[in-house]
Structure 1
Amino acid sequence: MRKWVVGLALVVAAGAAYAVFGSKDEAAQASGAGGAKGGPAGAFAQPPMTVQLAKVTRASLQAYVEVVGSLVGAQTVDIVPRAQGRLQSIGVRIGDSVSRGQVLAKVEDEELLEQLRQSDASYEVARATIRQREADLSFARTNLARNKSLFERSLLPRQSLDDAEARHQASQAQLDLAQAQLQQASSRREELRINLANTTVNSPVNGFVAKRFVDPGAFVTQNVMLLSVVDISIVRLVVNLVERDLRKVSVGAGAAVSVDAYPGETFSGRVARVAPVLDPATRTAEMEIEVPNPSGRLKPGMYARVRLISANKENALVVPKSAMVDAQGRRGVYMVQKGQAVFRAVTLGLEEPDRIEVTDGLKEGDEVVTTGASALRDGAKVLLAGPASPGATSGGAPKADPAAQARGTAAPR
């Protein structure tokens, strides 16, 4: 009896399981059949990709090399005094504009002025001494000539002639000494004049005060820096050019410089110098770009982006860069034929940030997929988005119906 009850329970359980799972399988089969016939389950099929086309056109292209770096002044000069002493005044502050020859600072000069006055007096004494020695020499020369005449006529003893010659020689020596003393006094006076002039500190360049290091009252020497003046009438950008770009850039090439301080604005410059050798550690060559800066708007230290024009081409065949894809191991674009995406391999030329030259594989007027190109595969069904981008046409694919797309992608209830 117990075995019979257990067997009956197993039969009931099996029937219940079939009722639950078997009905689901049949429903799934029915659903699949309905999908094949175009029923509601067909909504699970992959919908066509919505894309946008653009025409292949001709345009002028410029190839660029882009580099970045910090601006520096054309010339930076550290101002130091040429005379030591207490700083009497300093007449400029950071940011002030200065011109060549302008007085920037002054070192106290009272002591030098007193020394110069004494030197002037010594110089005048030396000049008076020379005049006296010249008169003495003239008298000694006349006396010697007279004594020689008397000696030749035996009217004067030899000793008197010898004394006259000795006095003449002594007078000449005294004049030579006086002339040397005058030269010494003149040199000393000139030295003091130079030292006095050196107490005035002038700017050697046109520019702006970048730094100020001391204030009046400080004791300064030739080793103490007073100011730093930078010439920014021209600013420079020194960058490292990678090896692959070296052949693209030459001295004199144009450069478009932009900085964050002036968004949307560019400043024109040129390549001034390119190093003839590469750094063996970095494989880069140092390049210097000069940018005229008459208004002084560009400041040393600004971070700059530079676009160097490396090539120009007129009437080039171009496509948007958004159309370029990598497929089948090649660079190319997708075109639309009979509602399907077709991959076309191309050969490329010059590049700009948003477009690129095609040298082979396309012709003017061809239409290529731009929006959605990166998600396509060869043979995929596509719909055209509307409105198309400028220059784009239908390409033979049906227009996208947003309502239909919404219905096609909705899950069945």
Structure 2
Amino acid sequence: MKKLIIIALVVVSVGAVAFTLYNNKQEMNEAATLAMKSSEYISVTVEKVEEKTVNRNFEANGIFEPSQELKLMSETSGAVVKIQRRKGDYVRKGDLLVQIDDRLIRSEYTIAKLTRDQAEKDLKRFENLAATDAITKKQLEENENGFKIADAQLGALKKRLDDTKVTAPIAGFINEDYYELGTLVSPGMPLVDIINKNPLKLAVNVTETEISKVKKDDEIAVRVNAMSNQDFIGKVHFISDKADASFKYQVELIMISKNQDEIKPGMFGTAQFKFSQEEKVLMIDRKSISGSLKDPGVYLIKNGVAVYQTVKIHPLDDGSVEILDGLKAGDEVIASGLINVKEGTKVKVQ
């Protein structure tokens, strides 16, 4: 009997819970239906597309670089026996940096030179004999080939001998050296890093809208972040024809200021592109743009309904955007309430 009573109580409890949930669901559905009926439109504000004057001045950051920079490698093997230049020294093109032990190669070169000189004498004698038909044509050819081989061997040893004298291929400062007296070097081993910062370069990246304003040989004011109290000038030397992966173009400036020696490669610089002309463009606030800057659009209002319109824009520094395509002066776009707006939504301007 007790079991029957317990079962009955459980059944009644489950039924009560189910009834309560059903009533709650009905109430929620009725509330949602009522909300939809009462919200026949979304309240929004609008912004008018206006023609305003803008200045095309802009800045671009970059890092100063030397005009030439190379890591000089050894082309021979041996021990360093003489050091002529060290880190921090200025070198001219052709200056001797280090001398590598050349005694063995010099001996081989001397033997090769004697062999080559003897082969040259033998060839001249055989050419005279060939003129009187005293030797065969084959004998003459063998002597000619012998001379060519001896001459080639001498040339190879001359190159090896020259490689023991490590000279500077460019003018500049030795930024790092990798040798001491007695250091054993081998082909491909780095010896020195040389940088030539005359002239110094500043490479910056600019957008497709900005690149159209830059011309070769333009003189541009440059600010060095570490020397805020000094002014510098750079001349546009190079403008890339193709954008990089971020859709920006490289502009390279050659520094032409007299005080530029104080600038070190690796410092940060800012190129200040300033233009005297001002232009009138169509503008709206950035907040009126729906979607990202890569795929922008706006909502117009037609017959009380939101209509999506794709646009082409260019962001400006003051929080607004320039309309390049898709709208005209006087058009009104939805400025607020965009979070609830989509194509076809009924809207009402507040």
2:83 alignment partner, one of 75, 86, 90: 90
- Aligned with 1:312: secondary structure? coil
Contact 2:119 2:143 in 1 (8 A): yes
How has the CA–CA distance of structure 1 residues 89 and 177 changed in structure 2, closer, same or farther, with 3 Å as cutoff?
same
How has the CA–CA distance of structure 1 residues 181 and 262 changed in structure 2, closer, same or farther, with 3 Å as cutoff?
same
2:192 alignment partner, one of 227, 236, 257: 227
TM superposition shift of 1:196:
0.9
TM alignment of 1:85-234, pairs within 5 A: 85-134=78-127, 137=130, 141=134, 168-169=135-136, 172-234=137-199
Q: Provide the C-alpha distance between the structure 1 equivalents of 2:217 and 2:166, rounded to a whole number of angstroms.
A: 38
2:248 alignment partner, one of 243, 264, 284: 284
TM superposition shift of 1:244:
4.2
TM superposition shift of 1:119:
0.9
Letter in 2 for 1:220: V
Letter in 2 for 1:101: G
Contact 1:85 1:221 in 2 (8 A): yes
- Aligned with 1:191: secondary structure? helix
Contact 1:233 1:292 in 2 (8 A): no
The residue aligned with 1:356 is none
Structure number with bigger Rg:
1
The residue aligned with 2:346 is none
Contact 1:234 1:293 in 2 (8 A): no
Q: Provide the C-alpha distance between the structure 2 equivalents of 1:99 and 1:286, rounded to a whole number of angstroms.
A: 31
How has the CA–CA distance of structure 1 residues 134 and 63 changed in structure 2, closer, same or farther, with 3 Å as cutoff?
closer
TM superposition shift of 1:233:
0.6
Q: Provide the C-alpha distance between the structure 2 equivalents of 1:139 and 1:278, rounded to a whole number of angstroms.
A: 73
Contact 2:234 2:257 in 1 (8 A): no
Q: Report the number of matched residues.
A: 230
Q: Provide the C-alpha distance between the structure 2 equivalents of 1:91 and 1:230, rounded to a whole number of angstroms.
A: 18
TM superposition shift of 1:79:
1.0
- Aligned with 1:248: secondary structure? coil
How has the CA–CA distance of structure 1 residues 137 and 66 changed in structure 2, closer, same or farther, with 3 Å as cutoff?
closer
Letter in 2 for 1:275: S
Q: Provide the C-alpha distance between the structure 2 equivalents of 1:249 and 1:137, rounded to a whole number of angstroms.
A: 72
Contact 2:64 2:200 in 1 (8 A): yes
| Higher mean C-alpha deviation, range 99-108 or range 173-182 | 173-182
TM alignment of 1:26-41, pairs within 5 A: none
The residue aligned with 1:65 is 58
Q: Are residue 265 (structure 1) and residue 225 (structure 2) matched?
A: no
The residue aligned with 1:247 is 212
Structure 2 unaligned spans of 5+: 1-54, 279-284, 286-315, 317-350
**CA shift digits 1:211-234 (9 cap, x unpaired):** 212323222233111111111011
The residue aligned with 1:298 is 263
- Aligned with 1:268: secondary structure? strand
Letter in 2 for 1:201: V
Contact 2:85 2:96 in 1 (8 A): no
**CA shift digits 1:127-180 (9 cap, x unpaired):** 343355456556764xxxxxxxxxxxxxxxxxxxxxxxxxx43xx433332222
TM-score (norm 2): 0.58
| Higher mean C-alpha deviation, range 287-296 or range 298-307 | 287-296
Q: Provide the C-alpha distance between the structure 1 equivalents of 2:215 and 2:227, rounded to a whole number of angstroms.
A: 27
Letter in 2 for 1:227: V
How has the CA–CA distance of structure 1 residues 308 and 130 changed in structure 2, closer, same or farther, with 3 Å as cutoff?
same
Give the aligned CA root-mean-square deviation in angstroms. 3.2
Structure 1 unaligned spans of 5+: 1-61, 142-167, 315-325, 327-350, 352-413
Q: Provide the C-alpha distance between the structure 2 equivalents of 1:283 and 1:137, rounded to a whole number of angstroms.
A: 73
Contact 1:232 1:293 in 2 (8 A): no
TM superposition shift of 1:89:
2.8
How has the CA–CA distance of structure 1 residues 124 and 260 changed in structure 2, closer, same or farther, with 3 Å as cutoff?
same
Contact 1:253 1:308 in 2 (8 A): no
Q: Provide the C-alpha distance between the structure 1 equivalents of 2:198 and 2:117, rounded to a whole number of angstroms.
A: 49
Q: Provide the C-alpha distance between the structure 1 equivalents of 2:93 and 2:257, rounded to a whole number of angstroms.
A: 18
How has the CA–CA distance of structure 1 residues 254 and 134 changed in structure 2, closer, same or farther, with 3 Å as cutoff?
closer
Q: Provide the C-alpha distance between the structure 2 equivalents of 1:137 and 1:276, rounded to a whole number of angstroms.
A: 64
The residue aligned with 1:55 is none
Q: Provide the C-alpha distance between the structure 2 equivalents of 1:88 and 1:249, rounded to a whole number of angstroms.
A: 53
Contact 1:208 1:231 in 2 (8 A): yes
Letter in 1 for 2:248: T
Q: Provide the C-alpha distance between the structure 1 equivalents of 2:117 and 2:77, rounded to a whole number of angstroms.
A: 28
Q: Using the aligned pairs only, state the percent identity.
A: 21
**CA shift digits 1:285-333 (9 cap, x unpaired):** 2222221366632210111122122x1259xxxxxxxxxxx9xxxxxxx
Letter in 2 for 1:286: Q
- Aligned with 1:119: secondary structure? helix
The residue aligned with 2:240 is 275
How has the CA–CA distance of structure 1 residues 189 and 248 changed in structure 2, closer, same or farther, with 3 Å as cutoff?
same
| Higher mean C-alpha deviation, range 183-192 or range 290-299 | 290-299
Q: Provide the C-alpha distance between the structure 2 equivalents of 1:81 and 1:240, rounded to a whole number of angstroms.
A: 36
The residue aligned with 1:407 is none
How has the CA–CA distance of structure 1 residues 249 and 139 changed in structure 2, closer, same or farther, with 3 Å as cutoff?
closer
> Relative to total residues, which structure has the larger helix share, 1 or 2?
1
How has the CA–CA distance of structure 1 residues 244 and 86 changed in structure 2, closer, same or farther, with 3 Å as cutoff?
same
The residue aligned with 1:376 is none
TM-score (norm 1): 0.50
